[in-house]
Amino acid sequence: MVERKEDAALTAILHAAADPTRRTILTLLAQNGPTRVTEIAARFAISLNAVLKHIKVLEAAGLVERRLVWREHLIEVRPERLALIATWCAGLRSIWDLRLEALDVLLTKENRDG
């Protein structure tokens, strides 16, 4: 099966957001704005190297962006990328809404007739 570019991006975003540590990093960045890597790492009971690996996954998915300000690496969340998840969920929701409406029509007709 050939995956479209949008599907590949959504897959990468969902993969990145599936890990609780990465979700916590995204939440911290959303709350605090651009943050130094060492400040992010200080929040976790894991090595700096492990935190850097999580950040690289988030970067690859486009969920965070790294900026170099002098010697400091600042990590910043890119919330607009999460719009792909919202769009995908909205599509699923509309499918289920249609199915539930059809079920409601069927049940209403059955109650009326029987």
Q: Model confidence over 12-50: pLDDT tens digits?
A: 999 999 999 999 999 999 999 999 999 999 999 999 999
First vs last C-alpha separation in the chain? 46
Percent of the chain surpassing pLDDT 90? 54
- Over residues 83-110, mean pLDDT: 77
Residues spanned by the domain of 24: 5-113
In terms of pLDDT, which residue wins out, 114 or 46? 46
What are 80-89's contacts with CB under 8 Å, separation 24+?
A: 81/9, 81/13, 82/13, 84/6, 84/9, 84/10, 84/13, 85/10, 85/13, 85/14, 85/17, 88/10
User: Looking at the 3D structure of the chain, how many domains does it have?
Assistant: 1
- Looking up residue 84, the CATH number of its domain turns out to be 1.10.10.10
Mean pLDDT of the chain: 87
Asked if pLDDT for residue 104 goes beyond 90, the answer is no
